[in-house]
Chain A
Amino acid sequence: MKIKPLLGHLLCLKVQYRTLNIMKVTLFMMFVCAFQLLATTGNAQNATIELPSRSVTVETLFHEIEKQTDYLVVYSNRELNVKEHITFSKKKAQVYELLNEVAEKAQLKYEHTNNYIVFSKSEHAKEMQQTKRTVTGTVKDKNGEAIIGANISVKGQNTGTITDIDGHFSLNVSPRDVLVISFISYKTKEIPVSSNTVINVVLQEETEVLDEVVVTALGIKREEKALGYAIQKVGGEKLAAVKSVDVGTALTGKIAGLNVRNSTEFNTSPSLSLRGESPLLVIDGVPYGNMSLNEVASDDIESIDVLKGATASALYGARGASGAIMVTTKRGSEEGLNISINSNTMFNSGYLKFPKVQSSYSGGQGGQYNPTDFVWGDKLDIGRTALQYDPYTYEWREMPLTSKGKNNLKNFQELGFVTNNNISVTQKGKYGSFRTSLTHVYNKGQWPNAKLNKVTLTTSGNMHYKGFDLDAGITYNKRFSPNGTGSGYGGLGYIYNLLAWSGPEWDVRDYKNYWRVKDQEQNWYNETYYNNPYYIANEILSSTEYDKVNGFASGSYTITPWLKATLRSGLDVYSTRKEWRNPIGAYGAWDKKGYNELQTPNGYSINTDFMLMANHKFSNISVDGFIGSNIYFYQDNTHTSYTKNGLLVPGFYSLNASVDTPGTSASISKKQTNSLFGKLSLAWKSLLFLDVTGRNDWSSSLPSDTRSYFYPSVAGSVVLSEFIPMPSFFDFWKVRGAWTMSKTDTSVYVTNNTYSVRFII
C-alpha cells in the first residue's frame, strides 16, 4: 500500500525586477512584427525633407519622412532591411527622389495611396529572383583551413553539394535561395544568396553550444557525443519550477536510471539510487564528504549532470564507483546587476490513499472491550456500554460504545505546507562576476508540532584576468526541527497508534489536553505500550539543529595555449545538536521515569585536487589529457550523554536532572585517501573517440602492506552515422562501449583487533 502526498493547490508568485541598461535604449525599437506603422504629417510626395546626413539607415529615412510629412511608410521586414545604410545623392531632397533610391537599392517598388507609401516587390525584382545562376565559394574553419566534405544545400529544396579537397563548392541557385552550410562538429550557417555570385564561408566550431555540452567528472566540460559513457543533464529552471523541501524530489522521473524514492514521513530526505546504487554528490566539482541535496537551494542550481556507471566516475575513485550527481551552481550570466526574488508556496492535500480500517468493533480481545493494544473487541453503535476512560474527568465509568473515533487519523492531521523564499543578487562585469543568494524554507508537516526551518546563504564569485581564472564560493546551511517523532513503527508512531493498535471507540479530539498531572502523568487510558498522540507530538521530542558550512576555491592558470593547471580545494564542516526527551509517564519511549539525551555529532571533510591538463590537435587527431593528484580526508566525532533511571524533578529535562549518574560515550572516526590519476582522450576527426583513465589510491583504512591499489578504465565510441550511409530521417547513430575496473577500500577501523568495553553498572 503506497501513500504519496498529492501536490494540491499551487500558488506561484514569480516576480522579477530588472534594472534597465540605459545605454541600450534602442532595445525598445526591436519588435518582431511583420508590419510597422509610423505616423506622418500629410503632404504630397513632392514634399521636401532634410536628412541628418547623407548616409543614413533606411529606418532613419522613414522616420524623417514620417516626422516631416504626413506619410506613413509600410514595408515588409523580410523584403527590406531597414538597418542598411544608404548613401543618398543629397541631404535635402524631395521625398520621391529619396524613395526612388531606396527602391532601386532594395529592388522593390513603392506605391503611394492616400497617405500611405507601400513598398513591395517589383516585377523586375521578381524576375531577378527567378533566374538561376552559378554561385561558387570556399568553406574554411576559423584557422583558415579548408573544410573538406562540408554540406552545402539549398534551404527548402533537394539540391546540394559538398566541398572538394580545397573546400571549394559550386552550385546553381537563384538569388532568392538560402544556402545552408553544415559540417559535423561545426555550427551550421545559413547565408542568403541574394545578389552574390561568390560566397566564402567560415564555419565556427560547435563546442560553445551549451545544450550539447555536459559537465563530466572533475568538472571538465566535454561534448556529449565524445563520451563513451552515459550522462544526462537537467537544467536548473526545471528544478526551480516546483520547489519541495529537498531538491532531490524535483529530480523524480527526470533522469533515466535514477530512482528517487520520496518518503511520506516528515523531514525525511528522498533516497536516490542510480542504477541500483547510491551515487556520489559533487557540487561545483568538489566531491564533498558530508553534503546532501537537501543543502543545495533550488534557486542556486544552474544545472545537474548525472554520470551513470562506473566509468563515468573512474576519476573520483572508489567513492564514485556507483556514478555521480554533479551540481553546478549559478554564476552571473548577464552583464550588469541582476536581482531576483522568488517565492513559492505549496499546500499538502493529504495522503493519496488512506489506510482503511474497520470501525464496527472496539479495542479489546475475545469480543470484549479492553483498553489493550488489540482490536478484537465488542460491537459498537448498538447501544452497548463498557467501563471506559473519560479524558475530561480522568475517571473510568460506564459509557456507550460508539464509533466516535472512526476519523481519528484525519482529525489528528493538520494542514501541511511548504514555503520557499529566495532572493539573489548577481553582478557581472568585464573581469568576473559575483553572486549571493539567501533561501528560506519553512515546512509545516501534517502532524501537530511538526515544523522545519531551513536557511541557506550562498556567496560565490569568479574572476578572470588574462590566463588566470579563479572561482570560489561558500555556503551556510542551518536546519532546525523541534520534533521528529511520530514516524514509523513502535510506541511512538502516529499511524500505528491511531489505526492499528487502538480501536475506534475513543475520539482523538477529546485528548487534546494530554496532562492528567502536569509533567508526571499523561491523560491516557492505556499504561503499557503506547501514548496519547498529542502527548507524543508535544512532549516526546527528538529535536535536531544542524549547521553546515561548505566552501571551495578553484584556481586555474593557462600556462601555454595547450597546457593548463588547476588547483581546487573544498571543505565542509558540520555540527549538529540532537536532543531526545520524554516526560515521566511516557510508555514505549526511552525511559518511563523520564529521559533526556544529548548527542552532538560533528565533523569535517577536505578534498583537494591538483591537475595539469593538456590538449592539442594534430591534423585529424586531437589529443586531450590530464594528470592529477587528490587528497581526501574526513573526520567525524560524536559525543552522547543520557540520563539514567529517570529525572529528579518532573518537567526538568536536562542531563543535570538524572537520578543516577548520567551515562556517556564518545566516538571518533577518521580516514584519508591519497590518489594519483590520469586520463588520455583521443579523437579522430570527431568521429572516433577513445578514453583511457587510470587511478591509484593509497587508503588509510587498509593495512599498510596492501595500502595501494590501482584501477584503470577504457571507453570508446564511434559515430557510425558518418561512415555508413543513412536514410535522411536518421540524424545520428553512435555506438559506444566502456570497460572499467573499480575497487573500493574497507571501512574505518575494520582492521583493528580490539576488545569492547562497556560500563557494567
Chain B
Amino acid sequence: MNKFIQTAVCLLSFMTTTVSCGHFDEINTNPDVPTQVTSEMLAIAGIKSLLANSTGKSFMQSYMACKYIAWGELSESYLYNGFGRTGLGNYHTIINMQKMVELSDDKNVKAYSALAKFVKAYILFNSTMELGDIPCSDALKGEEGTLRPKYDTQKEVMLQVIEDLEEAYTLFSNANDFKGDPFVGGKVERWKKIVSTFQLQVLMSLSKKTEDTDLKIKERFSQIVSQSSLMTSNDDNFQMVYSDKAGQLYPFNDNMYSKNPMVSSFLIDMMKETEDYRLFYYAKPSEAQLKAGVAANDWNVFIGTDVTQDFSIHKDAYVNGRFSCVNDRYNYYRPGEPVIRIGYAQQNFILAEAVVRGWIAGDASHYYKQGIKASMDFLTKYTPDEEIYHQGRKITPYYIEHFLEQPSIQLTGDENIDIEKIITQRYIASFMQHPWGAYYEYRRTGYPKFPINPETSLNSNAKDKIPVRWMYPANEYSYNKENVEEAVKRQYDGNDEVNQLMWILK
C-alpha cells in the first residue's frame, strides 16, 4: 500500500509539471523574423516593388507582345497575341505602405504619407489598366474583417487614383527630404516631378473620357502643366539603375536565352526609313549578313523578323543566323541601361499629344522633338563608347540636330497624322523601356499599327485583333466569387474575356 501511494504521488507530480505551458509562446516565436520594422525599410520595399523587373525570358515578354522582338527558342504565346490571366498580388505592397505611415515619426510623416499615396495610386492604376473594375475602397481591410471586398467601377478607381496623386503632390510640397530611398534619394523635389509626370500619364490614358464631368481631364491636365513642377531632363527619371554587383545586374544580362530575341522587321523598317541611328544601339548586325560581307555599319546589315509569321519560319531564320539579335549591351554589359517607368522623354510626348488635342496651349513640335532628343541623350549617356555597341554610327549632338530636321518626322498640323507620329516616336523611344507602355498606347490610340496575322494569332475569339485586357485571376473566383462575378456582369455582360472593352476604351 505504501508503495502504491508513493508511485501515485510521483505520477501526479509528473503530470502537473507537464501541464505548465508558460514557455510555449516563447518556443513558438521565430527569432529570425521581425514583428516590427522601420518606415525606412518599408519605403525601400515599396519603391522597389514598383521599379523591379523580372529577369531572363520573363523580362522580354512585354516586348514580344509589343511587336519589338520575336523569339527564337520556341513559340511564346505573347508573340501571337495569346493573353491569359493576371493577378492582384501587388496589393500587399499597399498594406506595407499603410504600416509605413503608421510607424513614421512626426518629422517624416508627410513624406511617407505622400509616398504611400503615390505607391497606392501607381499599383491601382496598373491593375485597373489590366483588368477593368478592381477592389479599391473596400480593399486592404482584412485586419478589420473585410475578407471579400467588392469591386469598384473603373471610373471610381481612376478618380481615386487622380485624387491620391493630387494629395501626394501637395504632401510632397510640404514635406522634408526623407530617408530610406536609394532609388530617388529621398528628395521631395524629384518626387514632386515624378508624381506630376505620372499624373499626366494617367490623365492621357483617359483621353477617351474628356467629356466626363467628374474626372475633368482637360482641366486637371492644364492645371498641372501650368502649376506643378515637371521633369526637366533624364536626371529626373523614375528608373531602376543597374550596376556590376551581384543582385544588381541588368535583368537580361548573361542568361541562357541571350541569343533568342530577334528584333522585328516592324521596328527595323520604321527606323531604317528615317535613318535613325538608334537602330544601331538597339539591334545587332545579323550574322548571315556579316558572313555575306555586308559592313557592320551598313543599314542593310540588319535583318528584321516578321513577328506574325509561323514559328517554323522564325526557327529557320534563327538557325541560319538570318536575324538581328538585340544589341550586345543588353546581353553582356553588366550594368546594361536603366529601365525607366516614368520618364522625361515620355513626358514630352504626352505634352506634345496634349497640345495636338487642344488640351493645353504650346508648341507641339517643340515637345515632340524634345522627346526624341531626350531618348537619344539617354542612349548616349548609358552606352559605353565602344564599337560593338554602336558599330561606328555614334549619336552625337550634331547628328541629333540633323535628325530632328528631317522632313519625314515633322508634324503636319493634322491631328490624326500628328498623333500617329508622336505615338510612333514614343514607341521607338520605348524599346526595352516602360514595360507594357507601348501596348497601352496602341490600345488607346491604335498606333503604331501593329502587324496582325489571323492565321497565326492565338486570340481565338478575334483573330484580327490584339486583345485589350487580361482576365481576372482564378483565385478571385475561388475566394471572392460573388464580387468578381458581379463586376464581370456589369462590365462585360458576364463574359470575362480578353477582347471585352473596358470603360476607358469605350
- A-side residues, CB < 8 A to B, are 364-366, 368, 370, 528-529, 559-560, 563, 565, 587-588, 592, 610, 612, 627, 629-631, 644-645, 659-660, 665-672, 674-676, 698-701, 704, 707, 748-749, 751-757, 760-761
| A627 contacts across to B, CB distance below 8 A | 11
Q: Would A700 and B11 count as touching, CB distance under 8 A?
A: no
CA–CA, A370 and B318, complex, Å: 11
Q: Which of A610, A666, A669, A674 contacts B21 (CB 8 A)?
A: A674
The segment out of B243-251, B392-400, B481-489 that lies at the interface is: B243-251
Q: Would B18 and A631 count as touching, CB distance under 8 A?
A: yes
Q: Would B3 and A754 count as touching, CB distance under 8 A?
A: no
Q: Would B319 and A755 count as touching, CB distance under 8 A?
A: no
- Contact A674:B19 (CB < 8 A) given known A592-B254, A645-B245, A754-B30: yes
| A370 contacts across to B, CB distance below 8 A | 319
Instruction: Determine how close the nearest CB of chain A comes to the CB of B207; give it in whole angstroms.
Output: 38
**3 closest cross-chain pairs (CB), A and B:** A645-B246, A700-B24, A644-B246
Would you list which residues of chain B between 13 and 35 have a CB under 8 Å from chain A? 14-15, 18-19, 21, 24-25, 27-35
CA–CA, A699 and B21, complex, Å: 9
Q: Would B18 and A701 count as touching, CB distance under 8 A?
A: no
Specify the chain B residue showing the minimal Cβ separation from A753. B35
Q: Which of B25, B33, B254 contacts A757 (CB 8 A)?
A: B33
At the interface, yes or no: B227 with Cβ under 8 Å from chain A?
no
Instruction: Determine how close the nearest CB of chain B comes to the CB of A599; give it in whole angstroms.
Output: 15
| B29 contacts across to A, CB distance below 8 A | 749, 752
At the interface, yes or no: B316 with Cβ under 8 Å from chain A?
yes
Specify the chain B residue showing the minimal Cβ separation from A644. B246
Q: Would B11 and A701 count as touching, CB distance under 8 A?
A: no
Specify the chain B residue showing the minimal Cβ separation from A611. B11
Q: Would A700 and B21 count as touching, CB distance under 8 A?
A: yes
| A761 contacts across to B, CB distance below 8 A | 245, 247-248
Q: Which of A667, A698, A704, A760 contacts B25 (CB 8 A)?
A: A704
- Contact A755:B35 (CB < 8 A) given known A644-B246, A660-B245, A698-B24: yes
Specify the chain A residue showing the minimal Cβ separation from B143. A753
| A671 contacts across to B, CB distance below 8 A | 27-28
Q: Would B27 and A700 count as touching, CB distance under 8 A?
A: yes
| B30 contacts across to A, CB distance below 8 A | 667-669, 748-749, 752, 754
CA–CA, A472 and B475, complex, Å: 54
Of residues A588, A698, A700, A748, which shows the largest number of chain B Cβ atoms within 10 Å of its Cβ?
Answer: A700
**Extra pairs beyond A699-B24, A700-B21 (11, CB < 8 Å):** A559-B3, A560-B4, A668-B31, A676-B18, A676-B19, A700-B25, A701-B28, A752-B33, A755-B35, A756-B33, A757-B37
CA–CA, A56 and B118, complex, Å: 113
At the interface, yes or no: B256 with Cβ under 8 Å from chain A?
yes
Instruction: Determine how close the nearest CB of chain A comes to the CB of B247; give it in whole angstroms.
Output: 6
CA–CA, A365 and B317, complex, Å: 10
Q: Mark contacts of B307-328 with chain A using CB atoms, 8 A cut-off: 1 yes-contact digit, 0 otherwise.
A: 0000000011011100000000
At the interface, yes or no: B465 with Cβ under 8 Å from chain A?
no
Specify the chain A residue showing the minimal Cβ separation from B254. A592
| B10 contacts across to A, CB distance below 8 A | 565
| A672 contacts across to B, CB distance below 8 A | 24, 27
Q: Which of B24, B48, B315 contacts A365 (CB 8 A)?
A: B315
- B-side residues, CB < 8 A to A, are 3-4, 7, 10-11, 14-15, 18-19, 21, 24-25, 27-37, 41, 44, 48, 182, 245-248, 254, 256, 258-259, 315-316, 318-320
Instruction: Determine how close the nearest CB of chain B comes to the CB of A568; give it in whole angstroms.
Output: 13
Specify the chain A residue showing the minimal Cβ separation from B35. A754
Q: Would B3 and A707 count as touching, CB distance under 8 A?
A: no
| B15 contacts across to A, CB distance below 8 A | 629, 676
| A612 contacts across to B, CB distance below 8 A | 7, 11
CB < 8 Å A-B pair total: 116
Q: Would A365 and B318 count as touching, CB distance under 8 A?
A: yes
| B11 contacts across to A, CB distance below 8 A | 565, 610, 612, 627
CA–CA, A749 and B29, complex, Å: 6
| A366 contacts across to B, CB distance below 8 A | 315-316, 319-320
Instruction: Determine how close the nearest CB of chain B comes to the CB of A391; give it in whole angstroms.
Output: 22
Of residues A587, A629, A630, A668, which shows the largest number of chain B Cβ atoms within 10 Å of its Cβ?
Answer: A629
- Contact A755:B3 (CB < 8 A) given known A365-B319, A674-B21: no
CA–CA, A563 and B15, complex, Å: 18
Q: Which of A667, A699, A704 contacts B32 (CB 8 A)?
A: A667
| B319 contacts across to A, CB distance below 8 A | 364-366, 368, 370
| A668 contacts across to B, CB distance below 8 A | 30-32
Q: Would A757 and B41 count as touching, CB distance under 8 A?
A: yes
CA–CA, A666 and B31, complex, Å: 10
Q: Would B33 and A754 count as touching, CB distance under 8 A?
A: yes
Instruction: Determine how close the nearest CB of chain A comes to the CB of B104; give it in whole angstroms.
Output: 16
What are 21 contact pairs spanning A and B, CB under 8 A?
Answer: A365-B318, A366-B315, A366-B319, A560-B4, A629-B15, A644-B247, A645-B245, A660-B246, A665-B32, A666-B32, A671-B27, A671-B28, A701-B28, A704-B21, A749-B29, A752-B29, A753-B35, A754-B30, A754-B35, A755-B37, A760-B48
CA–CA, A622 and B262, complex, Å: 85
Q: Would A528 and B14 count as touching, CB distance under 8 A?
A: no
| A756 contacts across to B, CB distance below 8 A | 33
CA–CA, A755 and B246, complex, Å: 24
CA–CA, A749 and B24, complex, Å: 11
| A674 contacts across to B, CB distance below 8 A | 18-19, 21
CA–CA, A667 and B44, complex, Å: 24
Specify the chain A residue showing the minimal Cβ separation from B1. A560
Specify the chain A residue showing the minimal Cβ separation from B29. A752
Q: Would B18 and A707 count as touching, CB distance under 8 A?
A: no
| A749 contacts across to B, CB distance below 8 A | 28-30, 33
CA–CA, A700 and B28, complex, Å: 6
Instruction: Determine how close the nearest CB of chain A comes to the CB of B245; give it in whole angstroms.
Output: 6
Specify the chain B residue showing the minimal Cβ separation from A751. B28
Of residues B7, B34, B35, B258, which shows the largest number of chain A Cβ atoms within 10 Å of its Cβ?
Answer: B7
| B259 contacts across to A, CB distance below 8 A | 528
Q: Would B48 and A368 count as touching, CB distance under 8 A?
A: no
- Contact A760:B44 (CB < 8 A) given known A365-B315, A672-B27, A700-B24: yes
CA–CA, A749 and B254, complex, Å: 39
Instruction: Determine how close the nearest CB of chain B comes to the CB of A352; give it in whole angstroms.
Output: 33
Q: Would B14 and A629 count as touching, CB distance under 8 A?
A: yes
Q: Would B256 and A528 count as touching, CB distance under 8 A?
A: yes
Q: Would A670 and B247 count as touching, CB distance under 8 A?
A: no
| A365 contacts across to B, CB distance below 8 A | 315, 318-319
| A631 contacts across to B, CB distance below 8 A | 18
| A748 contacts across to B, CB distance below 8 A | 28, 30
Specify the chain B residue showing the minimal Cβ separation from A749. B30
Instruction: Determine how close the nearest CB of chain A comes to the CB of B134; give it in whole angstroms.
Output: 25
- Contact A755:B18 (CB < 8 A) given known A560-B3, A612-B11, A761-B248: no
Specify the chain B residue showing the minimal Cβ separation from A377. B319
| B35 contacts across to A, CB distance below 8 A | 752-755
Of residues B4, B15, B246, B318, which shows the largest number of chain A Cβ atoms within 10 Å of its Cβ?
Answer: B246
Instruction: Determine how close the nearest CB of chain B comes to the CB of A663; give it in whole angstroms.
Output: 8
Instruction: Determine how close the nearest CB of chain A comes to the CB of B488; give it in whole angstroms.
Output: 33
CA–CA, A559 and B30, complex, Å: 45
Instruction: Determine how close the nearest CB of chain A comes to the CB of B37; give it in whole angstroms.
Output: 5
Specify the chain B residue showing the minimal Cβ separation from A365. B319
| A752 contacts across to B, CB distance below 8 A | 28-30, 33, 35
Instruction: Determine how close the nearest CB of chain B comes to the CB of A645; give it in whole angstroms.
Output: 4
Instruction: Determine how close the nearest CB of chain A comes to the CB of B344; give it in whole angstroms.
Output: 26
CA–CA, A629 and B11, complex, Å: 9
CA–CA, A675 and B14, complex, Å: 11
| A670 contacts across to B, CB distance below 8 A | 27-28
Q: Would A707 and B21 count as touching, CB distance under 8 A?
A: yes
Q: Would B256 and A588 count as touching, CB distance under 8 A?
A: yes
Instruction: Determine how close the nearest CB of chain A comes to the CB of B317; give it in whole angstroms.
Output: 9
CA–CA, A671 and B21, complex, Å: 12
Of residues B19, B28, B37, B248, which shows the largest number of chain A Cβ atoms within 10 Å of its Cβ?
Answer: B28
Instruction: Determine how close the nearest CB of chain A comes to the CB of B309; give it in whole angstroms.
Output: 14
Instruction: Determine how close the nearest CB of chain B comes to the CB of A396; give it in whole angstroms.
Output: 15
